[in-house]
Amino acid sequence: MSASVRAYIGLGSNLENPIQQVKTALTNLENLAETQLIAQSRLYASPPMGPPDQPDYINAVAAIDTSLSPELLLDELQRIERRQGRVRKGERWGPRTVDLDLLLYGCELIESKRLTVPHAGIHERAFVLYPLREIAADDLVIPGRGSLGELISACPRDGLQRLDEVL
């Protein structure tokens, strides 16, 4: 593998056995070309952000080292989502079999039609910050937002619950 970048991926599911969906997505991440799965958080349960008439989510965060470009990595993440039955209906924050978000790509700031990194909202979402803290240091810098430790100290759990199950 050529020069690699540490990236963080947010995983979420609230349909069709969400715990298994997240585990399957982690296996798929582990099998990506030019990518090595470095760490994964425990699973967390969180209330939905979007329409309230949907099941709670199961969330996790994974750290990978990859030599894929951010755009190629996004393509691969979307391929995994499709393979696991994700259908994009245009409904924002609606229920889904699996959602894979590129949260951070090294210390890069990326703003394109297809991709925003750091992921929008990362700094205020408990279901991202708390699992991320399990696998990254408090001094991890979220470009343009501050350190992980600072962000967590300002972010209430909002119903987030860590599950005892270890992946």
Residues 6+ apart with CB under 8 A from 139: 147, 148, 149
pLDDT along the chain (167 residues), means of 10: 89 95 97 97 92 90 98 97 80 79 97 95 95 96 96 94 73
Token pair, residue 85, equals: 């039955």
Q: Is the dihedral of CA 111, 115, 117, 120 positive or negative?
A: positive
pTM above 0.75, yes or no: yes
The CATH number that applies at residue 50 is 3.30.70.560
Which residue is catalytic, options 65, 99, 145, 158? 99
Which residue is catalytic, options 53, 56, 83, 96? 96
Give the phi and the psi of residue 147 in degrees, each rounded to 5. -85, 155
Domain enclosing residue 41, as ranges: 5-162
Question: Does residue 167 lie within any of the structural domains?
Answer: no
For this structure, is 164 an active site residue?
A: no
Q: What is the pLDDT of residue 150?
A: 96
Question: Does residue 115 lie within any of the structural domains?
Answer: yes
Q: What is the pLDDT of residue 2?
A: 67
Q: What is the pLDDT of residue 70?
A: 98
For this structure, is 101 an active site residue?
A: yes
Q: What is the pLDDT of residue 88?
A: 67
Q: What is the pLDDT of residue 4?
A: 96
- Whole-number Å distance between alpha carbons of 65 and 69: 11
Which residue is catalytic, options 83, 92, 101, 138? 101
CA distances from 139 to 133, 151, 152 (A): 10, 10, 11
Instruction: Provide the strand spans (E) within the chain.
Output: 5-13, 35-40, 44-46, 57-66, 99-105, 110-111, 116-117, 141-142, 146-147, 161-162
Q: 3-class SS at 61?
A: strand
Which residue is catalytic, options 86, 88, 125, 145? 86
Q: What is the pLDDT of residue 98?
A: 93
Number of domains in the chain: 1
